[in-house]
Amino acid sequence: MSHIDVGQENSAAIRLYYEDHGQGRPVVLIHGWPLSGASWEKQVPALLKAGRRVITYDRRGFGRSSQPSTGYEYDTFADDLHSLITQLDLRDVSLVGFSMGGGEVARYLGRHGADRIRSAVFMAAVPPYLLKTRDNPTGLEQKVFDEIKQAIVDDRPAFLSKFLADFYNVDDLLGDRISDEVVRLSWNVAAGASAIGSLACVDAWHTDFRADLKSISIPTLIIHGDSDRILPLEATGQAMQKQISGSRLAVIPGGPHGLNWTHWNEVNRELVEFLT
């Protein structure tokens, strides 16, 4: 198993698990909450076939990475990504961030710049800003995040079941574009994540990425489903396009939040074409 060290907590190293396959220009795939790098199962083969070197990794607290009690905010997540890129000496990189992973892409570019980065993809991503404030009146009230946190504290496994049902729009897509087995697999991965990290990440969801997005000048693709119940298109994908100069928005008809599985053919077509 391949790991890099990104820190230390007391007697234990904080290590990120990663996989590195193929040859060609590198693509780093950054997963969403509460899954792992394995959630890119439908994209990795297509990118390898297209001649790309494909790197996936598990965010701290998730998958096969360490589960520390700290560091679940976007400056640290971006620094973890920077450690991966620099320790593997990746250059001319395309960053692809799904959902929460889109925050890593935005904060990485805002914090570390684009010297090593060729292009960026935001897929069903969390930016620009989810919290309702005076200058962001269309955001969500703080109580929404507080209720999610309380539900995780009360019964994390039960919350994950409800979350994943909305993640994949199971009521509409089960038996057509998603199976019970895939939902169960996602639940198993999610349930194995750090309980501390799973809860702490909720506060990170309302990070303000607007300044990060405005700094982006590299080619950027935004992929979003028009049936996303977790991060609705209007509040995220469409708002991002307005803030990233020259970006292109690809809307996937009928796509839920977990469109990289349910609509993988459509997603892969957009992704491979953009990265060519």
What positions carry a catalytic annotation? 99, 228, 257
Cα 64 to Cα 137, 162, 251, 254, 259: the distances in Å are 38, 24, 32, 32, 23
Q: Pairing relation of β-strands 248-252 and 220-225?
A: parallel
Region of residue 115 (phi > 0: left; psi between -120 and 50: alpha; otherwise: beta):
alpha
Buried b (16+ CB within 10 A) or exposed e, 72-110: bebebbbbbbbebbeebebeebbbbbbbbbbbbbbbbbb
Residue 275: closest CA among 96, 21, 126, 30: 96
- In DSSP terms, 133 is beta-bridged to 136
Nearest-angstrom CA–CA distance, 219 and 120: 6
Longest CA–CA separation in the chain, Å:
49
Residues 6+ apart with CB under 8 A from 8: 14
